[in-house]
Amino acid sequence: MLLGEISGALVKAIQENVESVRKGNIYAKSPPDEAGTLPSIFVHIPSFTFDDAGLGGAGAEVKEEKSEAFSGNGERTAFSLAGKPQRPLIRVEAPPGQVQLENIDYRMDYSKGTIVFRSAPPKGRQNVSVRYNSASGSGRTREVHLGAVCNVDVWAGNEKQRDDIAIDVIKAVALSQEELSGTGMQVRPVEGKDLPDSDLPKGVRVRRLVYSVEANLQVKVPAARIERVDVKQLPPK
């Protein structure tokens, strides 16, 4: 859940439940310096806090399994995978049903993503299959807890219109609480206030609705890939 997704989810909730403002006038951005078309609504996040929700833990393991198939011609022994695999490969068959063993039937160059068979697989269509975990897609997830202040600014040409729309927005967010919670967001109302006319474009009346939003951001930490192991014999002491 990114900051843009938080404001975007609130904009969607308002667009679907507020009929007094055109959908095209409901924005996920900070208010402009000029009035523009009224009435308008601006959803923006002026500040947020974050902390490691998984502090002290390694996080959940994530694996991205892939499967590739090749056609043997009876002579070819080397086949290049589309991506680099994580060590070891999950399963290699050539032909289907005949399992091949690493370092016995084939060797794998993990740095290049190339598998080389000791004997050429027989001729056949898609008769060499390789299953593996992608090195780029594997790793562990960590959760970062976000606490955001979200402002919903209602812009209108007069106070009555401003206040009526503000009530519509409050109802819209309340009606969308369950749906927002399903996306991982906890939205709570904090306060409503009028912004001073001196800080606004001429002829604009603004009511700011302040919400507190909590969400968890998942971060994937890629798994370290062992591409080469060097064994060096040390001289006797």
DSSP per residue, 167-221: HHHHHHHHHTHHHHHHTTEEEEEEEEEEPPGGGS-TT-EEEEEEEEEEEEEEEEE
Q: Are residues 68 and 43 in the same domain?
A: no
Q: What is the pTM of this model?
A: 0.60
Examine the domain organization and report whether 73 and 97 are in the same domain: yes
- Return the number of other C-beta atoms located less than 10 Å from residue 41's C-beta: 28
Half-sphere exposure of 216 (CA within 13 A, CB side): 12
Query: What is the residue range of 5's domain?
Result: 1-48+154-181
Q: Is residue 11 part of a domain?
A: yes
**Is residue 169 in a domain?**
yes
Residues 91 and 135 in one domain: yes
Is the model's pLDDT at 216 over the cut of 90? no
Q: Which two tokens stand for residue 197?
A: 């006319």
Burial class (CB in 10 A: 0-12, 13-18, 19+), 9: buried
Predicted local confidence at residue 55, as pLDDT: 45
Are residues 66 and 28 located together in one domain of the fold? Answer: no
Specify the range with the lowest mean pLDDT, choosing from 33-37, 60-64, 115-119, 201-205.
60-64
- Residue range 58-86: average pLDDT? 87
Q: How many domains does the chain have?
A: 2
155 within 8 A of 39, measured Cβ to Cβ: yes
Q: Residues 44, 66: one domain? A: no
